[in-house]
Structure 1
Amino acid sequence: MAISLSKGQKIDLTKTNPGLTHIVIGLGWDPAEVTKKGLFGIKKQKVDIDCDASVLMLNENDKLVLRTHLVCFYNKTSPCGSVQHSGDNLTGEGDGDDEQIFVDLSKIPANVHKILAVVNIYECVNRKQDFGMIQHAYIRCVNRSNGQELVRFNLTENYSGKTALVVGELYREAGEWKFKAIGEGSHAAHIDHLAAQYI
């Protein structure tokens, strides 16, 4: 059974799951209903919001190892092949993970100490969208070899006005890999703007 974390909590992944090497970081969200004024009164409807999941591969100083260590919708594989992006989901509709990141812990270079999972809204400024228009957001880690969900973090805060979220991180400590639930909002308008904070 998966362990459910609250913001700021941590869990050991590899120590409690010996032999774990292949992880799926699954991220999900649903568009919330928004109130619209029309000719025939007020109605509620869902708005298509294109959220993009990405990961930043950071060194021991919390800096991006190289620009190519930002794995996202336009750079789907890290140079070492240890991290791969599943591809872009344009709406967030449907059940299950909206986007997935595949991580092979055995291939992660020694100079990568942290894999930071983030989500941002594509063209948020032009479309006037923010995370107040998203509901049921979560991040989870799954053992890819058997499909077992290891840990889940449901983001329950109100992120109105925020256009990016730092959701959680895999990090290396004393030879083991752990996961921390973060859930911090940001005003970064594009993944490149968010990544620039780690250069």
Structure 2
Amino acid sequence: MAINLSKGQRVDIGLQKIGVGLGWDPAKTGQDFDLDASAFLLGANNKIPTDEFFVFYNNMSSPDGAVTSSGDDRTGGNSDGDDETLMLDLSRVDQRIEQIIFTVTIHDYETRRQNFGQVRNSFIRIYDAVSGGEICKYELDEDFSIETAVEFGRLYKRGGAWRFEAMGTATTGGLQSFVNKYA
């Protein structure tokens, strides 16, 4: 049975192969919403060791093969579930990596004048990549009226095991704000 997480709540993962599904529904504005799921694989200094440890629509896999992206859903609302997925094999994570931050940003938010206040039913969920069974889900129920970038959650090592924390930390600035923070 899946756990519904609240902001700040943590859960043990206990698996090696997991999927991180991100989903959302755009508001009925007549425009598509291009949300982008990304992963930043961070070392002890809270930075990516090299640019290749930033997985997003222009870099679909980490150099260790631990994280791969399903690609870019440019409209949102095309499915009843996950719009973008990051697949993880935690047994392959480079030894320098201590945490993986999952972000969602709105592509071209300035031109389209979009923000997370216009996005509905956004969530991140962790599931068993082998069985498909959902482990936990974090629904972003806060109404971010001006923010354009969200750190949804993170996987981190604790005592040799991987745990997930629901973050829900939002900012303005889009993907570049996270690149500036973690690169």
Is the TM value for this pair above 0.5? yes
Q: Alignment partner for residue 84 of structure 1, among 55, 58, 68?
A: 68
2:178 counterpart residue number: 194
Q: Alignment partner for residue 169 of structure 1, among 130, 147, 154?
A: 154
Number of aligned residue pairs? 182
Amino acid of the residue matched to residue 10 of structure 2? K
Q: Alignment partner for residue 24 of structure 1, among 19, 22, 25?
A: 19
Amino acid of the residue matched to residue 154 of structure 1? E
For residues 170 and 46 of structure 1, the distance between their equivalents in structure 2, rounded to whole angstroms, comes to: 35
Residues 134-145 of structure 1 aligned to structure 2 (within 5 Å): 134-145=119-130
Is 1:150 the equivalent of 2:150? Answer: no
Residues 63-78 of structure 1 aligned to structure 2 (within 5 Å): 63-78=47-62
Partner SS state of residue 195, structure 1: helix
1:116 counterpart residue number: 101
For residues 32 and 84 of structure 1, the distance between their equivalents in structure 2, rounded to whole angstroms, comes to: 28
Is 1:61 the equivalent of 2:42? Answer: no
For residues 50 and 173 of structure 2, the distance between their equivalents in structure 1, rounded to whole angstroms, comes to: 20
For residues 31 and 118 of structure 2, the distance between their equivalents in structure 1, rounded to whole angstroms, comes to: 8
Structure 1 window deviating more from structure 2 (127-136 vs 59-68): it is 59-68
| Structure 1, unpaired ranges of 5+ | 15-19, 34-44
Deviant stretches of 4+, over 3 Å:
none
Deviation per CA, 1:135-163, whole angstroms, max 9, x where unpaired? 00000000001001001000000111001
Amino acid of the residue matched to residue 160 of structure 2? G
Structure 1 window deviating more from structure 2 (136-145 vs 46-55): it is 46-55
Conserved 8 A contact 1:64-1:195: no
2:166 counterpart residue number: 181
1:39 counterpart residue number: none
1:99 counterpart residue number: 84
Is 1:125 the equivalent of 2:120? Answer: no
Structure with greater Cα Rg: 1
| Structure 2, unpaired ranges of 5+ | none
Structure 1 window deviating more from structure 2 (92-101 vs 57-66): it is 57-66
Residue 126 (structure 1) shift? 1.0
1:4 counterpart residue number: 4
For residues 21 and 46 of structure 1, the distance between their equivalents in structure 2, rounded to whole angstroms, comes to: 41
For residues 193 and 118 of structure 1, the distance between their equivalents in structure 2, rounded to whole angstroms, comes to: 11
Indicate the RMSD between aligned Cα atoms, in angstroms.
Answer: 1.0
For residues 7 and 80 of structure 1, the distance between their equivalents in structure 2, rounded to whole angstroms, comes to: 30
Residue 119 (structure 1) shift? 0.4
